[in-house]
């Protein structure tokens, strides 16, 4: 498989994974109605869409400066969402 095809396959796989995470957080938001969960769902779904658009428009892009901002934001919101779920479970018991 040529390098360009490998990189597109990798990033489309990443976009699919982000789409799954966004769907998971959307389901958790629907079930628990937390603002942080809603925000996490929006961030992950938005990132999945962004990744698909970037790969569609510029499949040859090797260096992605946008990820310097996106990945820390995703890490923070995912951490906050998981902590909110944990806090909810502790209050419940």
How much is the pTM?
0.83
Residue pair 76/43 in contact by the 8 Å Cβ criterion: no
How many folded domains does the chain comprise?
Answer: 1
Q: Which domain holds residue 54?
A: 3-92
Query: What tokens does 16 get?
Result: 């699919």
Contacts of 69 (CB under 8 A, 6+ apart): none
C-alpha–C-alpha distance, residues 65 and 34, integer Å: 31
Number of Cα atoms under 13 Å in the Cβ half of residue 30: 6
φ, ψ at 68 (rounded to 5°): -65, -30
Per-residue pLDDT of the chain in tens (93 residues, 90 and over written 9): 556 555 556 656 888 999 999 999 999 999 999 999 999 999 999 999 998 898 888 877 777 888 899 999 999 999 999 999 999 888 877
């Amino acid at each position: 498989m040529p390098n360009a095809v490998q990189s597109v396959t990798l990033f489309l796989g990443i976009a699919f994974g982000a789409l799954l995470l966004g769907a998971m957080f959307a389901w958790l938001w629907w079930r628990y109605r937390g603002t942080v969960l809603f925000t996490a769902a929006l961030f992950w779904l938005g990132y999945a869409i962004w990744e698909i658009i970037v790969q569609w428009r510029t499949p040859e892009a090797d260096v992605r400066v946008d990820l310097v901002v996106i990945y820390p934001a995703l890490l923070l919101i995912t951490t906050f969402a998981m902590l909110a779920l944990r806090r909810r479970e502790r209050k419940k018991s």
